[in-house]
Amino acid sequence: MSVLVGKKAPSFESVAVVNGGEFVEKFSLEQYIGKKHVVFFFYPLDFTFVCPTELLAFQEKLQEFEKRNVAVVGCSIDSKFSHWAWLNTEKNKGGIKGVKYPIVSDLSKTIAANYDVLAGEWIYNEDGTLEFDGTPQAYRGLFLIDKQGIVRHQVVNDFPLGRSIDEALRMVDALQFNEENGEVCPADWHKGDEGMKETSDSVASYLSKH
């Protein structure tokens, strides 16, 4: 598994479904460079079990991300038509109707591969036949990308393990606090807590209070 933190987020251009049902044929994260932070997350498949809980949870907290000038973008290996159908299926029927942030189609699996969250790889078997070794879906990867397009935080969960949207918000807050104040964020830091300067005196002072 590659560590992308500190590196430029892999670029891509693919079709996405936005605003719950509109197709954008050449969607790219490049549009946010210099304007917004981005939470870019992968999930395995549409019409599954854990996935709708995550996508709906992101939608429930979308205003909190928007208050922080953060774009939320989802991605899976499903087609744009599958995304559209899922977005137009009622929640009580397993759908995610009401989700408004962009959902990217990675039908070729190249985006997941470039972010190194694809759960397997193409190999040639003993007969010289090309086959996929593993599961041709994305793990639950999440990448926090700053306004310069640099990955500042990443976390990858296995298929059964749903992620914490509150933790994603906490990391956004921590990054923005560091950018605005130049101070670092200690363990379990939350918005409103004090930070630390990168000096021994600052660390000693912080530890004495906790």
pLDDT in tens, 143-199: 999 999 999 999 999 999 999 999 999 999 999 999 999 999 999 999 999 898 876
Query: CA 47, CA 85: separation in Å to the nearest integer?
Result: 9
Residue appearing with tokens 């912080």 = 206
**pLDDT score of 8 more than 80:** yes
Q: Are residues 209 and 145 in the same domain?
A: no
Q: Are residues 115 and 80 in the same domain?
A: yes
User: Which residues on adjacent β-strands are paired with residue 124?
Assistant: 130
Q: Are 210 and 202 in contact (CB under 8 A)?
A: no
Same domain, 111 and 199: no
140-160 as b/e: b if 16+ CB within 10 A: bbbbbbbeebebbbbebbebe
Cβ proximity of 133 and 120 under 8 Å: yes
Q: How far is CA 207 from the centre of its chain?
A: 33
Sign of the Cα torsion 70, 159, 123, 14 reads negative
Which of 163, 182, 201 is the last residue in one of the domains? Answer: 163
Percent of the chain with pLDDT over 90: 87
Whether residue 76 sits in one domain with residue 180? no
Convert the pLDDT of each residue in 57-91 to its tens digit: 999 999 999 999 999 999 999 999 999 999 999 99
My answer on whether 204 and 154 are in the same domain is no
Average model confidence (pLDDT) across the chain: 93
Q: In 3-state terms, what secondary structure has residue 139?
A: coil
> 187 and 153 in one domain?
no
User: Do 132 and 120 belong together in one domain?
Assistant: yes
Give catalytic residues, as residue numbers: 51
1 domain-assigned: no
For the segment 91-116, the average pLDDT, to the nearest whole number, is 97
Please report whether residue 2 resides in a domain. no
Question: What are φ and ψ of residue 18, in 5° steps?
Answer: -120, 160
Q: How many domains does one find in the chain?
A: 2
Distance, CA of 103 to CA of 128 (rounded, Å): 36
Alpha carbon distances (Å) from 69 to 57, 131, 146, 148: 18, 42, 11, 14
Boundaries of domain holding 122: 14-163
Residue 200 has pLDDT above 60, yes or no: no
Domain contains 130: yes
Whether 98 and 148 share a structural domain: yes
Asked if residue 198 and residue 176 are part of one domain, the reply reads yes
Q: What is the mean pLDDT of residues 40-62?
A: 97
The two tokens of residue 95 are 């759908």
**Is residue 170 a part of any domain in this protein?**
yes
Same domain membership, residue 61 and residue 140: yes
SS3 68: coil
Say if 125 falls within a structural domain. Answer: yes
CA dist 52 and 96 (Å) reads: 6
- For residue 201, the model assigns a pLDDT of 52
Instruction: With both helix axes pointing from N to C terminus, report the angle between 165-181 and 50-60 in degrees, rounded to the nearest 10.
Output: 40
